[in-house]
Structure 1
Amino acid sequence: MDPLSFLLQPPVFYPIIPYACTIFGGLRPGRMILIQGSVGTSATRFQIDFQCGCSTRPRSDVAFHFNPRFSSSDNAHIICNTMRKDHWLDELKFSGAPLKKGESFVLLFLFLTDKVKVSIGGHHFLDFTYRLPLKDVDAVGIYGDVTIKEISFLSSNPFHDELTPYPFCPPLKSGSADLQKTPLSKTFPMGLSDCHAITVRGLVTVNPDELTLLLKSSDSIPFKLTANFQDQSMSYNSFISQSWGQPQNVQTPFFLFYPERFFEILLLPEAGLFRLAINGTPVGEFRRPVFDLKSIDELQITGSAGLFLVQC
């Protein structure tokens, strides 16, 4: 198992253009990159390249070239292409892009198994089918007449990549005013159901001790995840019929939480089990003999983290 696949990359703020950076762990289906910025008032073009490395001589292959171009008309058109062995392939043109000189924008790139989907301002705009393998893409470069406010690296549902819609993707910001403190509780008046995905994104504190996530019903705790920073262990457990079960260790190549590092927990309940992914990578299942998902009516998070998003 590749340790890099567990790293949730921190956002980049106000990079100097031209700018290129490595994508931790490379791209894979379900990965998303959110880019916020503004177009120059006299801009003619800018480009975002998803590259196979950061080499300039010879130049790295560009798997997906996203190139807005501006004229005297209100909206831009976008050229998409691939460069292989220093040669551009046939370009595709998409007209009527809602990008304008002197105005801000939000771009979301959602990478699926066979194509990338691009939304502009929260609305889908184009699909581009890969011409180079997605697994080879491990860098992003930004060039041209543009100011970038933020680049955020996000994960989606690792269990159902092809079914992933455009999600609500607020970027992770250290010191954000929207930071929620723990303990935090969220209720489910109608209970849970199969594949009712629960996403928790946050930032570990400076001197962490323990982080706990509980799913509760009126008289039981069908699921408890504990990350212990003292002995660097993770475990599942449950409290049913007035007693705790035997803790089950979460088997990973190394401890997945670090002080002042971002994390994402995805919990997917199914009949008789809970499936868990951390930072976009599945890390196993927790099974209990019998429990009713509909009876689970509360999510509770406690411990050494600030929370940016709790989505159910």
Structure 2
Amino acid sequence: MAYVPAPGYYPIYNPPLPHATPVAGGLRPGMSIYVQGMVPHHTKRFRVNFSCGPQKGADIALHFNPRFDSGDKIVLNSFQHGKWAKEEHKPNMPFHKGQHFELVFIVTPEDYQIMVNGAPCYVFRHRIPADRVQVVDVDGDLELQSLNVIGGGMMGGGGMYYPQHGMPGMQNMPPTSLPMMASPASFHPQVPYVANIPGGLTSKKTVVVKGSIPQGAKSFCINFKVGRCKDIALHINPRLNEKIVVRNSFLNGNWGQEERELTLNPFQPGQYFELSIRCGNGRFKVFANGQPLFDYNHRFREFQQIDTLEINGDVVLSYVQF
């Protein structure tokens, strides 16, 4: 997809509803809104609004409203000058009660391209200029697990924007410790996935992997490899059948000692996950769904030579970005 630059806002995890995320500077072509959640069994309807202001009665550039209590359909509309415009309907409801979902809005010059669980859902042409959107707000009968505005960073070059009351624990981080990302995100890449990391890993370089675990999955792995040799500096191996996450390195033709201890395991069949893997001078720091997962001390100390990311096994990728 042509309109996917580097992330610009830190994800928000498990916020209470109603929830509103500011979009400083408005939406622009190349930006995306990424929403993960779960539809409870009692759901009647929920909505995602792209609002032109935080105040009640503000214009709404896009009203996305799945309705289970009105013929299992999605209603799309806009609200301007105090009035709703003409509704557009999407039949064949792609959301299912009791199931997790992934919802992506991709902003193009002409429209919003909407995807649900990796499949095209609807194209909604702009009625109100996207750059007027100031807030993405979510409410209704759903469990909102994460919301991420991708692209259009306030720091330039795909930098990160941190809201004043954003990610817990991030408010007091010094600017030099913020994650660095420079390359475009890849949406729904195929598995096995292999990508070159331009320039190799550097201190503070962060790789983000979003995906889901299919039912019946046994294992998958994420490998950070060194050039054309077979060395693996970091091997992350969730084993669903053993309910563990193995970390290791493969250097000079040999596997090292496995690390297995974890306080939580975020990898469950039928659920989405987000991994943030950050390279530091002495170790990798890995977060899952916004929570610390593990640290892994460098065994291959020339980490700048790590230039290949490889993902394979029983996993469906939503996007990868570094």
TM-score normalised by structure 1 residue count? 0.52
Matched, 1:226 2:237: yes
For residue 257 of structure 1, report the CA deviation from its aligned partner.
Answer: 1.1
Selected match of 1:189 from 198, 217, 221: 198
Q: Secondary structure at the match of 2:56?
A: strand
What residue in structure 2 maps to residue 62 of structure 1? none
Matched, 1:198 2:207: yes
What residue in structure 1 maps to residue 37 of structure 2? 10
For residue 290 of structure 1, report the CA deviation from its aligned partner.
Answer: 4.7
Selected match of 1:279 from 286, 289, 301: 289
Q: Counterparts of 1:69-84 in structure 2 under 5 Å?
A: 69-70=57-58
What residue in structure 1 maps to residue 269 of structure 2? 259
**What residue identity is the alignment partner of 2:287?**
A
Distance 1:251 1:302, change over 3 A: same
What residue in structure 1 maps to residue 251 of structure 2? 240
For residue 154 of structure 1, report the CA deviation from its aligned partner.
Answer: 3.4
For residue 262 of structure 1, report the CA deviation from its aligned partner.
Answer: 0.5
Q: Secondary structure at the match of 1:189?
A: coil
Root mean square deviation, CA, Å: 4.3
8 Å contact 1:12–1:152 — kept in the other structure?
A: no
Distance 1:179 1:251, change over 3 A: same
8 Å contact 1:212–1:227 — kept in the other structure?
A: yes
Q: Secondary structure at the match of 2:316?
A: strand
Q: Secondary structure at the match of 2:221?
A: strand
What residue in structure 2 maps to residue 270 of structure 1? 280
Selected match of 2:85 from 85, 102, 123: 102
Distance 1:306 1:221 in 2: 22
**What residue identity is the alignment partner of 2:57?**
R
Q: Secondary structure at the match of 1:249?
A: coil
Distance 1:260 1:207 in 2: 9
What residue in structure 1 maps to residue 147 of structure 2? 154
8 Å contact 1:239–1:245 — kept in the other structure?
A: yes
Over the matched positions of the two proteins, sequence identity in percent amounts to 20
Distance 1:289 1:214 in 2: 14
Q: Secondary structure at the match of 1:239?
A: strand
For residue 203 of structure 1, report the CA deviation from its aligned partner.
Answer: 1.1
Q: Which moved more, 1:156-165 or 1:285-294?
A: 156-165
Aligned residues: 199
What residue in structure 2 maps to residue 53 of structure 1? none
8 Å contact 1:10–1:153 — kept in the other structure?
A: yes
Structure 2 regions of 5+ residues with no counterpart? 1-12, 15-34, 61-77, 88-104, 106-128, 149-165, 182-186
Q: Secondary structure at the match of 2:304?
A: helix
Distance 1:295 1:205, change over 3 A: same
For residue 266 of structure 1, report the CA deviation from its aligned partner.
Answer: 0.8
8 Å contact 1:250–1:283 — kept in the other structure?
A: no
Distance 1:236 1:287, change over 3 A: same
Distance 1:158 1:304, change over 3 A: farther
For residue 12 of structure 1, report the CA deviation from its aligned partner.
Answer: 4.8
Distance 1:305 1:258 in 2: 11
Distance 2:301 2:201 in 1: 11
Structure 1 regions of 5+ residues with no counterpart? 20-34, 40-45, 48-65, 77-97, 107-119, 127-139, 168-177
Distance 1:282 1:151, change over 3 A: closer
Distance 1:304 1:289, change over 3 A: closer
**What residue identity is the alignment partner of 1:246?**
Q
Distance 1:286 1:151, change over 3 A: closer
Distance 2:167 2:309 in 1: 19
Q: Which structure is higher in strand share?
A: 1
What residue in structure 1 maps to residue 109 of structure 2? none
Distance 1:103 1:222, change over 3 A: farther
Q: Secondary structure at the match of 1:294?
A: helix
**What residue identity is the alignment partner of 1:69?**
G
Selected match of 2:188 from 168, 175, 179: 179
Runs (4+) of structure 1 exceeding 4 A deviation are: 120-124, 140-143, 155-165
Q: Which has more radius of gyration?
A: 1
What residue in structure 2 maps to residue 249 of structure 1? 260
What residue in structure 2 maps to residue 93 of structure 1? none
Q: Secondary structure at the match of 2:85?
A: coil
